[in-house]
């Protein structure tokens, strides 16, 4: 970046080169370090573009040298001087400005600074809570500045791509109506209408569909969304998504536009070229091969079905699971026959219990492919050979099984597969493996509440030939939906939408909403669908997650300026915080004694 000339700077701290030798310059920035060599004092001056070394020599300017003696880390200073070459023995090859230094003629302290709680440099040892409490200092670190700049460039490139396709950028409301879309809403009490609440958007879903009713045809938004969920390394309570919607469209067109948007995002942000079109896989195939609808396809080690042989096995756990309507699937652990002890397997079994697994059966594969240990004694020669063949196991591998309901088996083995990939370094960290997962079921069964839930959301269109199944067998209805997956992370969901008012109401009824609830929650929306709604569809890729994968930072919080902690706290500002009694009365709210 070249600085606009102002009284504070003629150049930035990252742009001076050997070709600038002899130039008179003015720089402003933060003191990164001070090195006192007696007569000579060297200061590394930092701004968001880089670092320049400043040399203070009392023979050149005694007053400037005197001020330099008082400088401390993170002081903000303005320096005037002349660019000189460092000399071959003092060149710093790690810095773009490493061939030059500025010989100071004057220095002005613009702001002093207290000693910061951690060093303002990359690879610091400070805990994340300290970094978040002093986020404004953490953001001064070069890595964090780079993250923000890459994110900005990526979104700028994305906007240019979509404007080039004649998309219209429209902002939708932050204050909307609370609707049951799966996650919990953040609610905002209304002062003017006591006892009533706005909801902050989980997504602009209904608004963008209403824009299609309105004839906008091609809409996008860099949308801020909020969900009152637990924060994880790959999830934020406040997040940003690219929101797209198109009229008179098909899944094929949405795939093409989204793939182009991903090219623009990665190239514009980090100069990364990605290959399109992305491969595709049905939901059924993904669950069969990987046990998850967001598989990491950078490595193999796929699941295999063993239900047919398990039904005839002498191992009662296998036979019992199949008899009760469950399945048995397995996976190989590369080299785990020698790497993993029985205790390791027991510990792993305990961890998999979080996904519902009640056990992890296993055996080792010998040099001749023969099984040993674990459940080997319960398997016939033919059954063991089938397990080895289907798993692709080699000598020294483990073959591991889970027997239970399909949901438990797939979830447990998908987690185990990810563990194998991580421990064995099977996935190339430099690889970007995009995947479309298509043909999701429209509904998933909620066992706790004995009702159907939307697999994605209730506005998703189903395959036309499956519409009659809404009445007879909702679990078999296939949706016109699709997920964008990258390196085992779900980075966006989309679908063709329902554009018929009566069909939309029918889906709501399948979800056990009464006519009164439909009218109360969605009446404005279903009425709009009666006024000539074109077929339409869209997608909403998560930008935080995509930039996180692009930059390979430890957590997604490292690519957001002011994130919350995993507990949803803003350690810097102290949010959430109590409000005074007058504000509560004005909003018509009162806390109970228990609260």
Neighbours of 369 (CB within 10 A): 13
Confidence at residue 595, expressed as pLDDT on a 0 to 100 scale: 53
Rounded to an integer, what distance in angstroms lies between the CA atom of residue 330 and that of residue 402? 6
Q: What is the DSSP string of 226-238?
A: E--S--BTTB-SE
What mean pLDDT do residues 81-87 have? 95
- Judged against a pLDDT cut of 80, whether residue 1 lies above it is answered with no
Average pLDDT score over residue span 19-43: 96
Q: What is the mean pLDDT of the segment spanning 303-329?
A: 95
Q: How far apart are CA 590 and CA 595, in angstroms?
A: 10
145-153 contact pairs (CB < 8 A, 24+): 145/48, 147/547, 147/551, 147/553, 147/558, 147/559, 148/559, 148/561, 149/48, 150/269, 150/270, 150/547, 150/550, 150/551, 150/559, 151/269, 151/543, 151/547, 151/559, 153/268, 153/269
What does the pLDDT look like over 501-549, one tens digit per residue? 999 999 999 999 999 999 999 999 999 999 999 999 999 999 999 999 9
- The residue extents of the domains of the chain are 18-111, 121-278+534-595, 299-423
Identify the CATH homologous superfamily for domain 18-111. Nucleic acid-binding proteins (2.40.50.140)
Closest CA to 147 of 488, 573, 555: 555
What's the rounded mean pLDDT across residues 168-185? 87
| Distance between CA atoms of residues 329 and 308, nearest Å | 10
Element (DSSP H or E) covering residue 168: strand 168-169
CATH architecture of 299-423: 2-Layer Sandwich (3.30)
Q: What is the pLDDT of residue 355?
A: 92
Radius of gyration of the chain (CA): 30
Mean residue pLDDT of the chain comes to: 94
- In angstroms, the CA 343 to CA 352 distance is 14
d(CA 187, CA 204): 16
**For 55-83, how does the pLDDT look when each residue is reduced to its tens digit (9 = 90+)?**
999 999 999 999 999 999 999 999 999 99
Q: Is the pLDDT of residue 134 over 70?
A: yes
Residue-level pLDDT at 593? 67
pLDDT for residue 3: 64
Residues 6+ apart with CB under 8 A from 72: 31, 34, 112, 113, 115
Beta bridge partners of 327: 404
Report whether pLDDT(200) > 90.
yes
> What local confidence, expressed as pLDDT, does residue 446 receive?
87
Among 209-218, 232-241, 467-476, the least confident range: 232-241
Q: Could you tell me the pLDDT band of residue 463, with boundaries at 50, 70 and 90?
A: very high
Quote the pTM value. Answer: 0.92
The CA distance from 125 to 561, in Å, is 20
pLDDT for 412-462, tens place per residue?
999 999 999 999 999 999 999 999 999 999 999 888 888 898 988 999 999
SS3 content of the chain, % helix, strand, coil (to 5): 35, 25, 40
pLDDT 10s digits, 552-575: 998 999 999 999 998 889 999 999
What distances in angstroms separate CA 478 from CA 136, 442, 450, 454, 455, one per listed residue? Answer: 48, 5, 20, 11, 10
pLDDT at residue 183 greater than cutoff 90 = no
* pLDDT surpassing 60 at residue 181: no
pLDDT at 434: 98
| Percent of the chain topping pLDDT 70 | 98
- pLDDT at 494 > cutoff 90: yes
* Strands 361-365 and 371-372, sheet pairing: antiparallel
Contact assessment for residue 568 and residue 132, using Cβ atoms and an 8 Å cutoff = no
Better-scored residue on pLDDT, 391 or 123? 391
The predicted structure's pLDDT at residue 182: 63
Q: Please choose, from the candidates 234, 289, 259, the residue with its C-alpha nearest in 3D space to the C-alpha of residue 494.
A: 259
Confidence of residue 230 (pLDDT cuts 50, 70, 90): confident
Does residue 590 register a pLDDT over 60? Answer: yes
- Percent of the chain exceeding pLDDT 90 equals 87
Res. 338 pLDDT band, cuts 50 70 90: confident
Where are the alpha helices (H) located in 24-166, listed in sequence order?
62-68, 128-133, 135-138, 142-164
In CATH, what class is 121-278+534-595? Answer: alpha beta
d(C-alpha 104, C-alpha 55), whole Å: 6
How distant, in Å, are the alpha carbons of 112, 161, 209, 343, 450 from that of 536? 57, 21, 8, 54, 32
**pLDDT for res 280:** 98
Which residues pair with residue 434 across a beta bridge?
Answer: 486
């Amino acid at each position: 970046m070249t600085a606009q000339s102002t009284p504070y700077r003629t150049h930035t701290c990252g742009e001076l080169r050997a070709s600038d030798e002899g130039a008179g310059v003015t720089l402003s920035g933060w003191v990164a370090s001070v090195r006192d060599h007696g007569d000579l004092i060297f200061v590394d001056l930092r701004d968001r573009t880089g670092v320049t070394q400043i040399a203070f020599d009392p023979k050149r300017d005694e007053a400037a040298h005197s001020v330099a003696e008082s400088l401390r880390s993170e002081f903000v200073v303005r320096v005037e001087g002349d660019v000189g070459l460092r000399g071959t023995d003092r060149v710093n090859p790690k810095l773009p400005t490493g061939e030059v230094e500025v010989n100071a003629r004057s220095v002005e302290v613009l702001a002093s600074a207290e000693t910061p709680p951690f060093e303002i440099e990359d690879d610091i040892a400070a805990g994340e809570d300290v970094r978040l409490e002093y986020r404004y200092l953490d953001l001064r670190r070069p890595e964090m500045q780079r993250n923000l700049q890459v994110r900005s460039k990526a979104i700028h490139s994305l906007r240019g791509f979509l404007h080039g396709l004649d998309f219209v950028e429209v902002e939708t409301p932050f204050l909307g109506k609370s609707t049951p879309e799966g996650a919990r809403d953040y609610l905002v009490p209304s002062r003017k209408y006591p006892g009533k609440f706005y909801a902050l958007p989980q997504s602009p879903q209904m608004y963008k569909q209403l824009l299609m009713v309105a004839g906008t045809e091609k809409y996008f938004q860099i949308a801020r969304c909020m969900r009152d969920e637990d924060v994880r390394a790959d999830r934020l309570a406040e997040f940003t998504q690219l929101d797209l919607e198109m009229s008179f469209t098909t899944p094929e067109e949405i795939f093409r536009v989204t793939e182009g948007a991903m090219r623009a995002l990665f190239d514009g942000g980090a100069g990364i070229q990605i290959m399109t079109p992305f491969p595709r896989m049905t939901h059924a195939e993904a669950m069969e091969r990987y046990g998850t609808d967001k598989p990491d396809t950078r490595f193999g080690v796929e699941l295999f079905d063993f239900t047919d042989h398990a039904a005839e096995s002498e191992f009662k756990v296998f036979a019992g699971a199949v008899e009760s309507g469950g399945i048995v699937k397995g996976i190989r652990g590369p080299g785990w026959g020698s790497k993993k002890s029985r205790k390791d397997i027991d510990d792993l079994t305990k961890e998999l219990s979080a996904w519902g697994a009640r056990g992890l059966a296993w055996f080792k594969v010998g040099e001749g492919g023969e099984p040993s240990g674990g459940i080997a004694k319960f398997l016939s020669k033919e059954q063991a050979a089938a397990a080895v063949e289907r798993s692709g196991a080699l000598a020294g591998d483990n073959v591991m099984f889970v027997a239970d309901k399909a949901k438990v088996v797939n979830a447990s083995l998908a987690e185990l597969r990810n563990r194998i990939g991580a421990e064995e370094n099977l996935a190339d960290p430099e690889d970007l493996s995009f995947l479309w997962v298509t043909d999701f079921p429209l509904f998933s069964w909620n066992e706790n509440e004995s009702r159907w839930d939307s697999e994605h959301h209730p506005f998703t269109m189903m395959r036309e030939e499956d519409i009659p199944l809404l009445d007879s067998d909702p679990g078999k209805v296939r949706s016109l939906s699709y997920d964008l997956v990258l390196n085992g992370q779900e980075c966006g969901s989309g679908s063709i939408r329902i554009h018929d008012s009566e069909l939309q109401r029918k889906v709501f009824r399948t979800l056990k909403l009464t006519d009164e609830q439909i009218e109360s929650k969605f009446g404005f929306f279903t009425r709009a669908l009666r006024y000539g709604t074109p077929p339409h569809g869209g997608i909403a890729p998560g930008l935080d997650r995509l930039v996180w994968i692009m930059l390979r930072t430890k957590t997604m919080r490292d690519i957001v300026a002011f994130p919350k902690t995993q507990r949803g706290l803003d350690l810097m500002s102290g949010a959430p915080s109590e409000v005074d009694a007058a504000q509560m009365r004005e909003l018509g709210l009162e806390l109970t004694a228990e609260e």
